[in-house]
A and B are shown apart, each in its own frame.
Chain A
């Protein structure tokens, strides 16, 4: 069932999406705490923040957080799209194609997420 809409879902099943959504939330939560912790205890300046983020472990952690954010965002945006961009929500409009509009929306979301992820990774690792 639901082949057309399922092929664009991130995980294989609703179960894997559900688990991924929660695991990525945990990663993001931990990362958030780590950053808040830095601002709470460190002597905050541009230099100290730059040094903190430049450690190899921290770079990997930031990368993991960016990836987690990308996955989390995609599952969320996909869900929003399949809830609201629906034929019956538009009545007879759209020339009968909520499906086409949803594909455009999904493409836009993926493009934005990929660009942001790539951009963040170049910043985290200091690549030009």
Chain B
């Protein structure tokens, strides 16, 4: 099988290019895209990419696979390479450090900005802060995010304004804490989001939902934040 891999070496190359690598696939067995990438690397050890868990948990091998963002380790080749060819590029919109490795600083700056931790200044109880099962259920579909950046790097609004628009991943986490019954900073959190960029740059085209390998729905969370902002203002 032919695999085209985006190559860029900042020390040697002026411009990036696609390199075709021929790999032997085992008969009668479907591989994950990451396996194919490992095979390609055994041919050409200079290919650089991030990976760790190889089971969709760590979020480090997010990349653009035949035009769609996803985790290489849990994307079957049979599904990704329908036309018999695999094209691997780095996540779009972030500066490329080398080959498939991107600089995620802009992504994590936005994550930091939403204060992704519980804020509650009340003295902690002796054991733990309790939450009813109903309140806990509100966090389902929010806490599972692994910060792989597949969503934010498929979002045009994030491409255009990565410094001002929080992006789907950050906003999903913003809502995760807005929705948490134990968090007491709701007002401050909302005040930080009401400018024309942070939330309102979302145009609702749902690229993020389409990309998320965990099946999460940032667009719905963004809608909920908007409603909270509206309710808060009226």
Contacts and interface: CB of A to CB of B under 8 A. Distances in A.
Interface residues of A, number: 18
A90 to B, nearest CB: 12
Interface residues of B, number: 17
A23 to B, nearest CB: 12
B195 interface: yes
B161 A1 contact: no
Interface string A74-102: 00000100111010010000000000000
B74 interface: no
B164 A14 contact: no
B80 to A, nearest CB: 29
A86 B156 CA distance: 13
B194 A83 contact: no
Contacts of A18: 200, 226
A14 B160 contact: no
B49 interface: no
Interface in B140-161: 156-157, 160-161
Contacts of B156: 83
Nearest to B95: A88
B196 interface: yes
B57 interface: no
B194 A13 contact: yes
A13 B230 contact: no
A24 to B, nearest CB: 16
Contacts of A14: 194-201
B196 A17 contact: yes
Interface of A: 1-2, 5-6, 9, 11, 13-15, 17-19, 79, 82-84, 86, 89
Interface of B: 156-157, 160-161, 164, 194-201, 226, 229-230, 233
20 contacts: A1-B164, A2-B195, A2-B196, A2-B197, A6-B195, A13-B194, A13-B196, A14-B195, A14-B196, A14-B198, A14-B199, A14-B200, A15-B194, A15-B200, A15-B229, A15-B230, A19-B230, A79-B201, A83-B157, A84-B160
